[in-house]
Amino acid sequence: MNLNLYQKIINNSATFVRDIWNIPSVRETWTRITSANGGYLIGSFEISGLAMSDIKDFFNRYLGYEVQEHAYNEMTWNGLVYRMTLELNGVQYVRTLEPDFFHNRVNAYYSNIGVVDTEVGALTYRAAPIRFSDVGQDFSAWETLAGDSVYRIQVANSEGTTSWGYMGASSTFTAANDTIAVYQDIGRATPGWNDTDPALLPSIPLSYQVLEIEFEGTRYDTTWAEDVDSQGAFGIVEYILSLGGAELAAATALRDRHLTEFGYPRTRMVGGIEIIPGIQRRDVRLTVECAGFVATLFWKYRMTSRTNTISALIRGTTNLSEFVNAMLDSVATNALISTADCYPMPQRLGDLIQMLVDQGDAAGNPYQWGVYDRTLYYEAQPTTPTYFLSNGQLFDAAGTMVIPQMLRPGFLLKAREAPLAPRPLGGAIITEGDVAYVEQVEFSAPNRLRLMLSGESPIDVLSEQIQYGTYTEERVRGSKR
């Protein structure tokens, strides 16, 4: 078995860098998970026992490099170095490609709450007729005399309540045009207030806003700000900020501040530091966390909504990404019509794909998906068992013992020694007590396999279903139930 590093994924991983399987701590700690929803998901290993300079160099150099596991002359898992935590003399340092802590293309969406004015002078509720007064204010600019109201007024009261209504005609109560008629409905058929009726409580108006109804809640954006040098080193990692009630200047300032702070995956000192006077620390350890290429589907957004068949939406959404492709023969046909809804906020590609997969098809059949070697595969979940558990060992339908590194999830498992349980009348095979859907496969070096069954925690009896030892190709081919 090998665990190889290749050049950064932005460089198409064409250049082999090194085989890290010859580092003893890597061979002892390598673990990776493959999921029926996502494919190659996560992996991790530790580096220790080397010179401090070598461990520091790994930490500084290899973020974003591709990791490939090879067994029996096949690639059995791949992803990228996604996050590294260096523990150095009691202090932790982190570098990561997680979008919350690293994004080199930033936009800010902000909602215009439609406020066109606020209070001027002394405020008063007036009951006969129902009006609102602000001494010194000229409400005539916001009155409506015909048709639906264009503006509404929202008042904050002394006891913490809110009263609001649609604005009609203004009138002169004192020397200034300082009162406005208020109605419960936009067509102004019923005078009065919504939410809290100030006539029922000793409400004292403290402040108010005049809002233009047409523009309330309208979403705007600042356009993208980008760090092209960072994109050239790691690929495009997008991040959208969402603000309520902000103006363009504030939204732009926050966008630019984010790009400055998070535009490059810099080293961060994290965690707590324990200091014991008189005792010096001399230890170093590096934890390397890998992510499958499915993680890069969460680096970019779909900006516009689209209605189409689920198959077409999955292909189109996937192919907006930088590092993952979906092809006609890798995405099963599903003619169910759905919508990739990206209004009012754009959606991350991975979130949209999972939402589409969760819908199944028109017949109610469930589906699964995964990214394997940068290609997205989408298919219906199986309806017949393809693997069998017998005497603590896992076999395929031909009776051949399964090679741990090559097993992928998303299959039905049948236990040979399970207590007999009759299938419910008219039920599918999945309703049998000795059949389960395997959602997740975890492989740990050298040959340990753990299966996660649908709707359950990891089953202890399955955690060591593959015996420890050296699996030669001859032994695997010759093993029978």
Strands 385-390 and 194-195: unpaired
Q: Look at residue 285 and tell me whether its pLDDT is greater than 70.
A: yes
| 459 confidence band (pLDDT: 50, 70, 90) | very low
| 469 confidence band (pLDDT: 50, 70, 90) | very low
pLDDT tens column, 190-236 = 999 999 898 887 778 999 989 888 877 678 899 999 999 999 999 99
Q: Which range, of 77-86, 244-253, 403-412, averages the lowest pLDDT?
A: 244-253
What value does the mean pLDDT of the chain take? 87
Tokens of 204: 């004292």
**What is the SS3 assignment for 250?**
helix
pLDDT tens column, 390-420 = 888 899 999 999 999 999 999 999 988 766 6
- C-beta of residue 170 within 8 angstroms of C-beta of residue 140: yes
- C-beta of residue 335 within 8 angstroms of C-beta of residue 362: yes
- Cβ-Cβ contacts under 8 Å for 26 (sequence gap 6 or more): 3, 20, 45, 46, 47
**What is the SS3 assignment for 108?**
strand
Tokens of 203: 């409400």
| 246 confidence band (pLDDT: 50, 70, 90) | confident
**Mean pLDDT on 42-53:** 95
- Residue 219's pLDDT is 80
Q: Look at residue 176 and tell me whether its pLDDT is greater than 60.
A: no
Q: Which range, of 164-168, 206-210, 315-319, 383-387, averages the lowest pLDDT?
A: 206-210
The alpha carbon of 244 is separated from its chain's Cα centroid by a whole number of angstroms, namely 21
Q: Look at residue 32 and tell me whether its pLDDT is greater than 60.
A: yes
Q: Which range, of 41-50, 77-86, 126-135, averages the lowest pLDDT?
A: 126-135
| 171 confidence band (pLDDT: 50, 70, 90) | confident
Q: Look at residue 158 and tell me whether its pLDDT is greater than 90.
A: no
In whole angstroms, give the CA distance from residue 224 to residue 321: 17
Q: Look at residue 326 and tell me whether its pLDDT is greater than 80.
A: yes
Comparison of pLDDT for 215 and 105, the residue scoring more:
105
Q: Look at residue 463 and tell me whether its pLDDT is greater than 70.
A: no
| 372 confidence band (pLDDT: 50, 70, 90) | very high
In whole angstroms, give the CA distance from residue 276 to residue 263: 36
Q: Which range, of 157-161, 252-256, 364-368, averages the lowest pLDDT?
A: 157-161
- Residue 395's pLDDT is 93
- Residue 419's pLDDT is 64
- Residue 421's pLDDT is 57
Reported pTM? 0.78
- Residue 240's pLDDT is 96
Show me where the domains of the chain are located.
2-98+265-291, 105-112+219-262, 115-216, 301-380, 385-478
